[in-house]
Structure 1
Amino acid sequence: MQRRDVLKHTALFFGYAVSVSALSETFVACSKEANLSWQPEFLTTNQANTVAEITETILPKTKTPGAKELGVPQFVDKMLKDLLSEDEQKDFLAGLDTFEKACKEANGKSFVDCTPEQRTDFLLKQDKEAAKLPPSVWGIRLAAPGPTAFFRRLKELTLLGYYTSEKVGKTLLGYDPLPGHYIACMPLAQVGKAWNE
């Protein structure tokens, strides 16, 4: 083998080595894109992935189903698209960007890349710092409505989506009607002292 051939083969070998590592980095970067099992209607895929992780951190899977299992992120995405005005949508997206920037400043990485402990600590901090909701009666706010803080709105939608889901309604929540069942024709002997108990 001549010297020229050796140099050519060595250069090709190094070129392949560099190309393989660069290609693998490209695949790793692509795999960091959010993998969702559903298609968001309002949010981008990365935003939807962040919202999904926030909702799952608020309501994680334990003995009861978690937020992701019940489709709460899809519910939040649908509500953002169908329920909010354009100004409220812009406020929400701006709040999500601010949330991500604050998480990167606090933890050095995005919310999705944080450990579960970092996520919980960060959300607790956000919850303490977020403006409180005005008082309400039966869901109707008594004070003049102003822009709702990002974290408050997301938490509100998360809880609404979770507790109005079919599975939670059928299996977790119990309905105990008061004062009791109405039985029109009951023999007096069976009534006993029911009126007194």
Structure 2
Amino acid sequence: MQRREALKHTALFFGYAVSTAALTETFVACSREAQLDWKPEFLSTNQANTVAEMAETILPKTKTPGAKELGVPQFVDKMVKDLLSKEEQQNFVAGLEKVDDTSKDVYGKAFTELTTQQREELLLKLDKEAAKLPPSVWGIRLAPPSPTAFFRRLKELTLLGYYTSQKVGKEILRFDPLPGGFTACMPLAEVGHAWNE
């Protein structure tokens, strides 16, 4: 009987230890999600968190780095502060607030608290609802300028920040600013990233 009691107390002890560790990790994970490792220049901390999670949902980490790893949210914050007019800044902030409102209406919680699948669903919905961009040639819009929808602007800034980052330029796109030699015929297996080599 004493052996049975000893085993029971040992199991309870390990159960409490595991439960405490699991709870501690849960609280740490929750606090990690709410904190930024950078200080926003224009956006509030909550808005910056939303931008960071939206950018990471648009460009998640796979074999290539994700948006947050490359500092895209900081880039978006800086661009909104330095390049947008007061009216455009207000529209951007209003768009962020609308995303959280829509998230709370549909899922009952803020965007940053959604699962990855819920975030993707919401962003796809925003993408479908956003007005299409007017036709352009070499980045110059052919139609008269109209206010850019919030999600279109966020998506543009996210992609711009990602593809102009130093790491993507050097390691993924393999950008070489000097023109290389011309090889008229070469085996297809040796081509590699021929558009920029």
Q: TM-score, normalised by structure 1?
A: 0.73
Amino acid at match of 1:35: Q
Residue 146 of structure 2 aligns with which residue? 146
| Alpha carbons 2:55, 2:67 under 8 Å: kept | yes
Instruction: Provide closer, same or farther for how the CA distance between residues 63 and 32 of structure 1 changes in structure 2, counting only shifts above 3 A.
Output: closer
Distance 2:56 2:75 in 1: 13
The structure-2 alpha-carbon separation of the partners of 1:147 and 1:63, relative to structure 1 and needing over 3 Å to count, comes to same
Tell me the TM-score normalised to structure 2 length. 0.73
Which SS does the other structure have where 1:53 is aligned? helix
Q: Kindly state the Cα deviation for residue 32 of structure 1 after the two structures are TM-superposed.
A: 8.5
Q: Which runs of 5+ in 2 are unaligned?
A: 1-26, 186-197
Tell me the distance in 2 between the aligned counterparts of 1:33 and 1:120.
18
Q: CA RMSD in A?
A: 2.7
Aligned residue number for residue 110 of structure 1: 110
CA distance in 2, matches of 1:84, 1:119: 26
**2:170 is matched by which residue type in structure 1?**
K
Say which one has the larger Rg.
1
Q: Percent identity?
A: 72
1:89 maps to what in 2?
89
User: Distance between the aligned counterparts of 2:48 and 2:134, measured in 1?
Assistant: 28
Structure 1 residues without counterparts, runs of 5 or longer: 1-26, 183-190
Q: Specify the code of the residue in structure 2 equivalent to 1:152.
A: R
Q: 1:103 deviation in Å?
A: 1.1
AA aligned to 1:59 is L
